[in-house]
Each structure stands twice: as structure tokens, then as C-alpha cells.
Structure 1
């Protein structure tokens, strides 16, 4: 049953609409640009804001903002961007990406391109996407921030894995170089120097901005503000306080963590504790006395020592997280560990422990909420580094393994449960837990928990696929095939191959898709998995249909239809009937097409699926129109219209109105036709260029038939302008438009222009051999040519020879 559900989900089109993904991502962007709660965040940063603004409006497209952890880089950039967002949104698009939850360059490019690129963008190779995005960013101002950029490479620490492969870092640098001199900007926020990425400082692409700690004056101001906000009465100029301020050394995070502790201890005590913890981390964490990391680790160690005693035991599982944490899941991990390892379970005690831990960390600014009112928290990177470097190092192997097992078990269960969520919730969960899923997968492999590793890799791969990160998705699914091979799970191997076929098809790599489908079919036939085998046959038929192999598609689809009918899978059989109807229609075998469509209609009506049944009514109406059976066509379209009106589906309803208008035109009812074309426009709030071009073309033809030539000319010109916005000029509708425009010009007595449009129509058809329709256009050209004046004839001949070759009229 599990396999069947997976196959049922995946033989359909991808579950997530890209429009919905963008809506979700836009919400994330807004969250990341929320106002800071702390009024102290920009003390002493006026000069830095000014310098950042100067770099932002310079010609160099990349600003590398570097500074030690906790110095205030993210806060500075976020506040600066608020100034930028005061500009009209249509003039400037801002994207904020935060590592490690963003795992690929391709995700970033897709998120950015979804606002401005056409669908073919998402099928392009990653290198091509870089080139296209460079062009888009040169045409419209963008600002792209990548926070925690040091995580892009694994060179910073043995406790960190690289987020981006080296080849993606190289492509990102190519994008930087392509933007030289344009308005768009990348802002890279990193705690590590740029040498880590081998950036060329002599290159005109980069501006380097070093954010330093506060100087003495502003350090004193910030310290005073923090002390006042915590109602701490202490003389900042006394000797011990000055010693403490020397330790802090103008570092904002150090102030936020150390100074509030003066509420319950003296400066002398706090200094002594700090040095004790510094010695402790130097002994355990392999750091040196002059290493700034030692200061940060000592700071974390000191803060953690103040944790309520019961919550100390929760630090090991916290170290397994990266980027973000969800408290309900965290409680579940603790409960499982307590039950399976410690033989103790008291959920109310665990709940209180987790609540105290989260409250403590949030109070100390080491975690912060993603979205107010939720249980999702961002983890400050230095806390994760401390927990892995220091805290976990103090635990025994048994403790580490116990927590690792509980962590993998819970996160894998979350991954499995995501399948049943709606697409909106699933997308948000995957985004917020992306780094956690990757960490859990790595831990699962280390612990030889391959069943769990397979589940985790499945959700990682699925998230990559739905976001059209095809390179990542293909790598993940290939790895998943290896996992299932090691588990000797042939069924899941076949399902994963089926997924790889989908990925290849979505990139229009049809040959590769067919190879994966054949491999999957071999597996399912070997394991006698009839449903899965039929699903592959269905997909193979659909793929052959896409590639124009109609006879082969017909054979595959009938095989799948017979299999589904034999096993009682009526709904799947209906979907195949619909596709066989489409093939019959394309072959102009209208009787066969009607038979298959009616079969699909009967099944959809039996299931009470009004939407799919209405789609079939529409198709039957189109067939009746092509057969000139207009009365029957109107009846089918009326049935479809009633369903779409009931469901409020304006786009579908618009297609019905358009078809009704075309029938009215064919019957000479031009006023009715024009009325329905206008109703079509009224239903479409935002008409894409192609749809607008077709509607204006049809309106032009209707006006022309009514003898309103000037109005027809205006409509045709609008259609022409919309087609001009499209990249593909080989569309047959475009060729038809040019032919219609030529007829109109001939009716108006403009024979040279009529001939030119006919030549352009023939050229746009992109066919070397003239069929009956194209020969008709050639004959029309001859008519225009013969009626043109001598000088017009000369120009028409030259125009033909330039675009078409040999002139079709013998003699002069």
C-alpha cells in the first residue's frame, strides 16, 4: 500500500505549484526583514551604514561584509536594506538567503527567476541559469543577500560540512563577474575572510567591507544602555568594570551575554568565571590563547554554565541541529531518549525541561523565533559550533550514540509524515528544516541506520525536485538508489528510478527519461508489482506522446489501460482514456477520440469528479466544433461552463467563452463572437502575452468579418505586439496572425504590405516544403503581387528572395 501511494502521487504532475512556492518564499523574506526588537542594535554604526551605502551605490556588484561572529553584520545589513525597501517595490527586488537551510545555488536562482523568467528557465542547465539570471539582473535591479556565507565551504571547521559544492561556488563567481557595472548587488555576509573562497581582490567585481568591533566611546554607550535596560546599578568607570570591558573589547554579542549577568554577581566574579571557562575550552576544544574563537567558545561555555541544572542534559541533542530548531520535535527526541536509553519517561518533566532551555537560550539571544507565534527558532551559528566542539566532546560514546539514534528516528518520522501534509505546509516545513534533514541523514549514515537514511534522502531529494534544483535532486535520487540496493529493496529501487525519470523529463531529457522508465519497468515486472508496472507504462506512453511518437504512445497507453482495468484501478484508467482521446484528436481520428473521451467522462462522473468531467465536456465540445457540429458543441461547452461557474474557475471559464466566440464567428454571428471575446478578457485579471495575442488576433478576425477594417487593424497590431514579447516566433498562431494581417491589407488595397505579411507568415511557419495550407498562402501572395504597382513588385521580389529564396513567379 505504501508503494502504491508513492507511485500514485508521482505519476501525476509535480504536487507543488511554483506560484505557491514563491508565495511561501516571499513570506520568508518578509520575516527576515522584520524590525529588530533591540533598540541598541545600531549604536555606533552610523559611519558603517554610510560606508555600506557608498559601496551599495558603487559600480562593483559584490559587497563582501566580513567580521567576527557576533559583531553585528546581519543586523547592520538588515537595517540598511530597510532603507532600500522604502523605494517602490517594482523598481528593486530584494532576496535574503540564509545558510545552511539554503543548500544549492540553483534554489537561489530559481527563487529569483520565478518573478521574472519564463518556464523554460527552470529546465535549463545550472550554467545556463547563471547566464540567464545575469541578464535578468542587468535589466532590473536586484539585491541578493547570502547570510552565513562562510558555511558555503567546509573549510572553516572540522565540525561543519560544506553547503555548496566547489563547482557551484565557481558558477556563483561567474555570475558575480557577469554583473560588473550593473546596478544589481550581491551582499555576502561572512564571519571568515574572503581568502577562504580564493576571491581575487584585484578584480573589479568585489568591494570588501570589514565590520570592526565598536570603539571605546560607542562601546561605553552600548554598555550603558544594556546596563540601564537591565536595571543594573554599577559604575562603568571602576577598575573591575574597565577590566571586563577590555575582555569584551567592543564586541556587541559579548556585551549582550556578559553584562546582564552583573545583576547577580560582581565584575570580579564574572571576570574570574570567564578566565576559568576560557582555560576549560582551550583544554577541550583545541583552540589557542590568541584565537578569537577561544573567546567565543569561552563565552558560550560561561553562558551554558548558568543553565538550570536539569536542562544541561539537553545540550547533546541540540548540537545535532543546524540553522533552526522546532521545539515540539525537540521534545519528542528527548522523550524517546529518556524512554529507550534511560528507561525513564515523564512527558510533563520533559516539557518543562525543554521550555526552560528554550526560554534561557532566547533570553540570552542564542536563538530567536523565525515567525512570532510559532515554535520555530533560528540558532545562532556560534552556539552550534560550541555544542559540537566543546559540549559533545565531553560526552561518552554511549551518550552520543543514544542521542544520535533518537534524533535520526524523530527527524526521519517527520520526513515520512510530510507526505500527508498539504503542499503549503510541506514546503514551509522542508525549508525551515532543510539543514536538519541533511544533518539527520549524515548522522543516520554514521549510525548505519540505512532505513532512516533512505526516508531522509527521499524528502531531501523531493524538496530539491519540487524547487527544480534538478542537479541536486538527481544526485540525491541516485544516492537513494544505492541505499535501496544495499538494503536489497528492489521495490524502492524501482520507485526511485521512476522519480529519476520524472526529473529527466522535466528537463526535457527525454531519452534519459525513457531509459530510467525502462529500468524501473524491468524491476516491477521482476517483482510482479502490477500497479507500479502499469504506472510506468502510463508514463512511458505519456512521454512518447510528448515526443510526438503517437503510435508508440498509443501502444504503451493501451497496455497500461488494460493493466489498470484488470486490477480495478478505474481512476487511473480514466486518466489514460483521456490521453488516448487526445492522441486520437491529434491524429484527426475524431470518432476514436470521442470514444476514449466518453469512456473517461463516464468514469469521472461515476467518481463524482466534476472538475475532470468538465475538462472532458470541454474536449468533446472542441471535437464537435472541428466536425462542424456546432449545436452539439454548444451543449458540451454549456455543461463545462456550468461546472466552472459553480467552482469559480475563471481561467477555465475564459477558455469556454473563447471557444463559444469562435463558434459564433464560424456561424457568422459576429456580434455574439465579439461579446464573448470581451467576456473572456473580463475574466482574466492578468492575461499572459500569449493568451492576449490569441484573443486580439481572434477579435481582429471578427472585426474584419464585420467590415470594420480600422478596428481589425488595431486588434491585429495589439496581437502582433504581444507576440513580439515572446521568445518563440515559430508558433503556428503567429504565422496565422501574419496571414490574417495580409488578408486585411489586401482588402484595404495595400498590396505591397499584404505581400510582405504573407512572406513573413511563410517564413514564420518554418517549413521547407509547402503543404496545402502554405501553398494557399503562396497563391495569395501571387494575387497581391499582381495587383501591386511596378515599384512595389520590385520591392516584394527583393523581400521574398531575401527571406524565402527563389521567387515563385516566373518572369518579371
Structure 2
């Protein structure tokens, strides 16, 4: 919810920020600008929220108190967790008077059912439905074969059998939905239970897979008949291609009124289907042609809860991996870390120390993406300790490689080389040629950063020989890129360009956008070095588009800085300054004050050469970025 509100305001960078930063950012905007957010049927969502989630939402609502924005939350029950006094509870009834009868008459006319508004039975029935539009849609079609008085009697009977309190609109709706259930054949009625397991959306494709767990399996034709009947009753909305949006009232009814035994029969099939199909979806694009993966996330959390309840440990692990992969793809590092921490705790509680170590490694990777290298190293060292104790050399090799990358990012080249050599040694002992290629590649990068180009090229060539021999195109692409960088360092621009194009050819064939973005950036530097500023700007733009879409804020900072240099050379000091400030902001966000200071020194250079009018603009932009008073007196 927080990401859905904040991302349109702050673009892709929002999702990767810490939760406290997100709440402060959107709170300050929404207090000053009016936004009305509707949280519909919140009582059904509440079951998937942890106490921590509720506290986050409560804090968010507190940030809005007294501001221009409002949240409208609809619920069938009181939301006592909100506490405090910064909300008003309004009970909403059904349609009244002429409005109630106008809706009734329009519905009956559309159905082609004759009626007499003065019929005492019809008056009793309409009053019994409480003016709820959905209740009327569920019950009034039954007037084709029953009298109003008979339906009113059945409505009272439903209220009694379901032990519903008299007088409450929600009770009248629940009793009305029994009419829809009773109108179905036994075969279709049995398919209501699997629908109750979904949250918000249901896909007939998933239902069909669940049905295949039974012998005989309910047919796809029956599934389509059921969904058609529920669409007619207003309980499902047809989104096309077998995908439906589920009315919260249907979910609530099915979870309270459907027999528990029936739910138990379907729960295992539900968990297995979500785990299997989820793993397939998570390994491919995050959106398929049928339904947004994001729309399925609440259902995956429901499946996760069922897997835990049923002690389906393999499925539980698979579902956490699915959800964590989605969070990772969305740049939601907070959720990703929380899920992997939950997985690690689960593995340990079940005596699976190796599984816990794998989760620790993922936690380290998540921290590294946030450039929280201290936390990342802590998790990686925990992983390494377990890998070494259990003599899992592959885990040890991979973790040493990850520790090498952390040291490399910290610019601790000596530590990086030691870790990569350890990884290389274990990979060679295991006969893991892919591991050898990867570690050799990174040893080449360390040697280049240390200024030893000859040794760097030796390592790169070793990595490339393995990659080309084994057909490891992703590894080969990365090494072509690094050979291009090495050629650029040696001022051999033609060779650099050839290597970059070889890298891009593979990136584009592998649809590896992230690696392509790195090479686009280097092509921009190459064009800039040749004095072709127009081409440089185009290459940087291609790189930046991917980095921003991928939430790579740190990588984007380097491209912002290069664009600043382009505009400086073009004499547009205001535009150059704007790009510099964006770069510095991103570097500071990740704690890289050294690089941020260098970028800000460039900004001061732009200011010195600007016109008096542009100096005023640059000074104001400096202060708008929260950098304090502009240091004009020191220039």
C-alpha cells in the first residue's frame, strides 16, 4: 500500500528506500496536497497483515492527521487496532426510500420480471434485504420461479440457520448470498471452496490446476459455469481471459459459511498449485499476459499461511522464495529482507542449518544492494561459517566470492583479492569452471583498479577462455565489457568500442538489460572522449532509462554525473548543476560521502563559470536539495 501511494510521486527510487524514509516522504507531501485513498473491504486484508504491518499503516495514517489528504477505509467490522482519535467511524446503511425502490424496479425491468410494487410480500422482501444493492442482485432474480413472500421466508430461514444477528446490514447481505449458493448444482457448489482461498483476484487457470489434484477432477467447463453465475450475481468482475476480480463480500461469506471440512480438502491443492505456478512465474517475467503478479501477492501470502498451518515445509520455503523474488524485482528491499529472515528462522526451527545459511546469503545480498556493507558482511560470514563447518565447498566458494565483491565495493583491494583467490581455489578443487571464470573475472577487475593492466588482462583472458568454451554467454558478455574498459584505460578507443559492441550483442540476445546499461554508460564515455557530445548524451540516456527502471540508484548516480559533465562542456551550467545535485543526492543516500563530495566540487566549478543570473538559480537549487546555505563566501 505504501509503495502504491509513494511510487507515482517519487518514481522507482521510492520502493528501495527504508520504511521510515518512505513514511516521512509521503507524509510531508500528502499533508500539503490533497489525495483521497480508498481502502475497500479492509477487514478481509487485515488477516494477511502482521502486527508490524499494522503499526506501519497506523504510523502512515498518523502522518496524515490534520493535513489535506484523507483515507476512506470500508470494513464490515470495527478496526480497533487503529486506536487513537484521528479517525471517524461512519456506519453506512443501504439504499433508502425512493432510491431503494428505483434500484429494485430497474433491476427487475432488466431481468424482465413482472412485479407489483404494492405486493405485501415484495415490500417485506425489499425491507428484508436492507437496501443493499448486492443483496438485491443476489435475491431478486429468484422471483422468476418463486413468490416474494416465499423468498422473504427463505431469507428469514437463512438468517436463523447462519445464526446472524438481526437488524445488521451485513447479516442481510450474508443471508442473501445463501440464495446464490443454493441456486448452484452440487458440482458447482463444491467449487466455491477453492475461490474462498484467493484474495482479491482469482484465475480460472489456477482453479483448473487445483482441481487436477482430485480424482475425478472437476472440469474446466464447470469452473466456467460457476464463474459465469457469480459474475451474473455481481460477486465476480470478468477481467477477460479467465481472470476475475472477487467482491470482498463473496470472500467473507465463503470463509464463514462454507464447511470447514471442504476447505481442508482443498487447502493442500491450493498450496501446491500456488507454490508450483508461483515458482514458474518468479523464474520468468514478473508480469504474464493474464494477471499481474503483484495482484496475486495477497493470495501468495494466503498460501504461505496455509502452508505453515499444514506443515508443508517444502511448499512454505518455495512460497517465501516466490514472494521474496517478487519483492526483489519490485525493488522492495525491506520486504525482501523480512521474507528471507523469516525463511532463515523457519529453516533453523526445522533443523535445516544449510537451508538457513542459504537464506543468510540472500540477506547479505539484499543488504549489499542497499550498500549496507557492514550488515552484508555479517550475513555472509554467518553463511561461510556454516558452509565450512558442514564442508559445503560450493557454498563456501560462492560466499567468499560475495565477500570479495563487498570488499571491492569498499575499495579494499587487498581484501577483495584474498576473498576472490579463496573462491577461485575452492572452485578449482570442485571442478566448478563457472566459478573459476567468475572469480578470474573479478580478480581482473581488482588488478585493473590497482593499476596493473597486464595482470588484469591475464585474468580476463582466463575467464573469457572458459566462458567461450562452455558457452557461458552472460559471463563472456561481462568480460568483453571489462576488456573494453581496459582498452579505454589504455587509450585504445577502437579496441574498446569493438569489445563494447561484442558485449552489447550478447546482452541484447540474452535480454540482459542491467548489463547492457553498464555498457551503454561506457559507450557514452567513449563518445565523450571522442568529442561527440550528442552521441554521448544518447548513450547515457539509454543507460539511465534502464538504471532508473531497475531501481539502481547508485548506478544511476554515475550516469547523472556524466550527464552533468556533458552539459558543462556545452556551457549549460544550470542543467549541469541539476544533474550533479541528483548524483550527489543518490551517493549520499547510500553513504558514499567521498564520491558525493567530488561531485559537489564539480557543482561549485559550474557555479563559478555561470552568469550572475544562473548563479542565483544554482545557489537556490543547492539549498533546495537540503545541502544547507550555499558556500558562496568561500568561493
TM-score above 0.5, yes or no: yes
1:228: Cα distance to partner? Answer: 0.9
Q: Secondary structure at the match of 1:237?
A: coil
1:229: Cα distance to partner? Answer: 0.6
Change over 3 Å in CA distance of 1:740–1:147 after alignment to 2: closer
- Distance of 2:581 and 2:565 partners within structure 1: 13
1:545: Cα distance to partner? Answer: 1.7
Residue deviations 1:91-111 (CA, integer Å, cap 9, x gap): xxxxxxxxxxxxxxxxx3334
Match for residue 565 of structure 2 among 697, 710, 718: 697
Change over 3 Å in CA distance of 1:246–1:470 after alignment to 2: same
Change over 3 Å in CA distance of 1:528–1:573 after alignment to 2: same
- Distance of 2:519 and 2:383 partners within structure 1: 39
- Distance of 1:196 and 1:529 partners within structure 2: 47
Residue deviations 1:451-505 (CA, integer Å, cap 9, x gap): 3333233323433444444444444333323433354434322222222222332
Instruction: Write the mapping of 1:649-688 to structure 2, written as runs, cut at 5 A.
Output: 655-664=521-530, 673=531, 676-683=532-539, 684=541
Gapped runs of 5+ residues in structure 2?
546-555, 623-630
Question: What residue in structure 1 maps to residue 424 of structure 2?
Answer: 561
Check if 1:386 corresponds to 2:253.
yes
Q: Secondary structure at the match of 2:202?
A: strand
Answer with 255-264 or 138-147: which moved more: 138-147
Change over 3 Å in CA distance of 1:258–1:450 after alignment to 2: same
Contact 2:128 2:155 in 1 (8 A): no
Question: What residue in structure 2 maps to residue 110 of structure 1?
Answer: 3
Contact 2:485 2:522 in 1 (8 A): no
- Distance of 1:581 and 1:680 partners within structure 2: 27
Question: What residue in structure 1 maps to residue 74 of structure 2?
Answer: 189
- Distance of 1:655 and 1:506 partners within structure 2: 20
Check if 1:359 corresponds to 2:228.
yes
- Distance of 1:375 and 1:570 partners within structure 2: 46
- Distance of 1:654 and 1:196 partners within structure 2: 50
- Distance of 1:642 and 1:484 partners within structure 2: 43
- Distance of 1:477 and 1:280 partners within structure 2: 45
Match for residue 199 of structure 2 among 306, 322, 343: 322
Contact 2:287 2:293 in 1 (8 A): no
- Distance of 1:294 and 1:700 partners within structure 2: 69
Question: What residue in structure 2 maps to residue 278 of structure 1?
Answer: 159
Change over 3 Å in CA distance of 1:477–1:741 after alignment to 2: closer
Question: What residue in structure 1 maps to residue 303 of structure 2?
Answer: 440
Change over 3 Å in CA distance of 1:328–1:194 after alignment to 2: closer
Check if 1:149 corresponds to 2:42.
yes
1:653: Cα distance to partner? Answer: 6.7
- Distance of 1:246 and 1:608 partners within structure 2: 74
Q: Secondary structure at the match of 2:191?
A: helix
Contact 1:142 1:184 in 2 (8 A): yes
Change over 3 Å in CA distance of 1:721–1:256 after alignment to 2: same
- Distance of 1:540 and 1:564 partners within structure 2: 15
Return the structure number with greater relative CO, CA threshold 8 A, min gap 6.
Answer: 1
Aligned pair count reads 594
Question: What residue in structure 1 maps to residue 56 of structure 2?
Answer: 171
Please provide the CA RMSD for this pair.
Answer: 3.7
Question: What residue in structure 2 maps to residue 496 of structure 1?
Answer: 359
Runs of 4+ in 1 over 6 A off after TM superposition: 685-690
Q: Secondary structure at the match of 2:131?
A: coil
Residue deviations 1:416-472 (CA, integer Å, cap 9, x gap): 433543333399564333233233333333333333333233323433444444444
Change over 3 Å in CA distance of 1:465–1:652 after alignment to 2: closer
Instruction: Write the mapping of 1:782-801 to structure 2, written as runs, cut at 5 A.
Output: 799-800=633-634
Change over 3 Å in CA distance of 1:659–1:451 after alignment to 2: closer
- Distance of 2:474 and 2:97 partners within structure 1: 70
Q: Give the TM-score taking structure 2 as reference length.
A: 0.82
Instruction: Write the mapping of 1:383-782 to structure 2, written as runs, cut at 5 A.
Output: 383-393=250-260, 395=261, 400-425=263-288, 430-607=293-470, 613=476, 615-626=478-489, 629-630=490-491, 632-641=492-501, 644=504, 647=508, 655-664=521-530, 673=531, 676-683=532-539, 684=541, 691=559, 694-698=562-566, 700-701=568-569, 714-726=571-583, 727=585, 728=588, 730-736=596-602, 738-739=604-605
Residue deviations 1:561-613 (CA, integer Å, cap 9, x gap): 23334434333333333322222222222222222233333344445566764
Q: Give the TM-score taking structure 1 as reference length.
A: 0.65
Change over 3 Å in CA distance of 1:171–1:501 after alignment to 2: same
Contact 1:694 1:733 in 2 (8 A): no
Contact 1:146 1:188 in 2 (8 A): yes
